Amino acid sequence: MSISKLTVIKCVTALLISAIMASSLVAYAATDSHNTVTIVDGEKTAKISTHCTTAEEILSDANIILNSGDEAVLSNDQNGALCLTVKRAFKVYVTVGSETLMVNMTEGTVADALEKAGVVLGESSVCSHKKDAVLTKETYIDVAQVDYITESYEEKIPYTVKVEYSSSLKKGQKKVIAGKDGVRTVMVKKTITNGVLTGSEVVSKTVTTAATPQVTIIGTKTAAKKPAVNKNGTKPYSSIKTISSLKAPASLTLTSKGIPTSYKKKVTVEATAYTDHSGTRCASGVLPQTGYIAVNPKVIPYGTKMFIVSADGKYVYGYAIAADTGGFIKKRPYNIDLFFNTKSECRQFGRRNVVIYFL
């Protein structure tokens, strides 16, 4: 081999060695490069310079510990710089009936939490939160199984009591028609939550059998009163108020002016009043009472029937019978003495003219 060829070989070898060394330096420089990473952990934000390129390595380099359910997301911001976001998990408790399930969430909605807990809402399920509500912190979700049933029962309708008045019964009489309770059907809608009765609502009430009231009928019928004036213009003796207590014969009727419609004669005499409660009988043998009067039997025989009224019209003595002898017959043989019940009545009457209608 010539010297010139040897020189060429040495030069090529030197160039190759130089290229290999340069390549090694570049590789070393690349493995020793640092990255600036922005770390967002909740409300905390920090920047670190690290040669790490994975989320796990960066977390370890920054001494950040993830708890159960936490997530770390590595991304590039709009400038291409690395950004590591730590999403801290919060607990969501889902209670279904008597069972409570716990899931860890970093984000999502109520529907996501239910799905993660394996809870499927049925048509009659009721959730305490809206399914599209966004979760951001520890939350308690209640899911209830609600069923509705309708039942019916019967209840008594008490009968009422009322009073009626009727002229078909005599006054003072009473008649009771017994009452009877009725029946109504009551429809009730019941709410069953997780197998437990939580509500009851009356839907309808229907009368099955109407109640019959108890009726007390009170009579109002009274005896027909005798007319004060008959059709022919006369009136019965019983329609006027008299001092005499004797019962007059039915034939004794009066005119509208209060005098007998039929009599034998009439006289006007002087009358006085007397009373006697000693138990002594009258001259005719009867006990004294209003209506029995004292007379001069030679002028007016015992048993004579009369209708007597004072001449001034203030006293209607009424139907009278001559039954006793007066002490006045010697001095006033045509006078009469009228019997009153009390001395006070006698004094009030005193002495006055009366008209006697002899019947």
Q: Which two tokens stand for residue 27?
A: 């590789």
Q: Which two tokens stand for residue 89?
A: 């998990």
Q: Which two tokens stand for residue 203?
A: 């839907």
Q: Tell me how far apart the alpha carbons of residues 229 and 236 are, in angstroms, rounded to a whole number.
A: 7
8-state DSSP, 50: E
Domain at 35-87: CATH architecture: Roll (3.10)
Q: Do 194 and 144 meet the contact criterion of CB atoms below 8 Å apart?
A: yes
Q: What is the maximal distance between C-alpha atoms in the chain?
A: 221
Q: Where in the chain is the domain with CATH 3.10.20?
A: 35-87
Q: Where in the chain is the domain with CATH 2.20.230.10?
A: 149-221
The CATH superfamily holding the domain 149-221 is: Resuscitation-promoting factor rpfb. (2.20.230.10)
pLDDT in tens, the chain (359 residues): 443 443 434 443 444 444 444 444 333 334 456 788 888 887 788 888 888 888 888 888 888 888 888 888 888 888 888 898 898 889 999 998 888 999 999 889 999 999 998 998 888 888 989 989 999 899 999 998 888 899 999 999 999 999 998 888 888 899 999 999 999 999 999 998 888 898 999 999 999 999 999 999 998 888 766 555 666 678 899 889 999 999 999 899 999 889 999 999 999 999 999 998 888 999 999 999 999 999 999 999 999 999 999 999 999 999 999 999 877 777 788 899 999 999 999 999 999 999 999 99
The pTM of the full predicted model, rounded to 2 decimals, is: 0.40
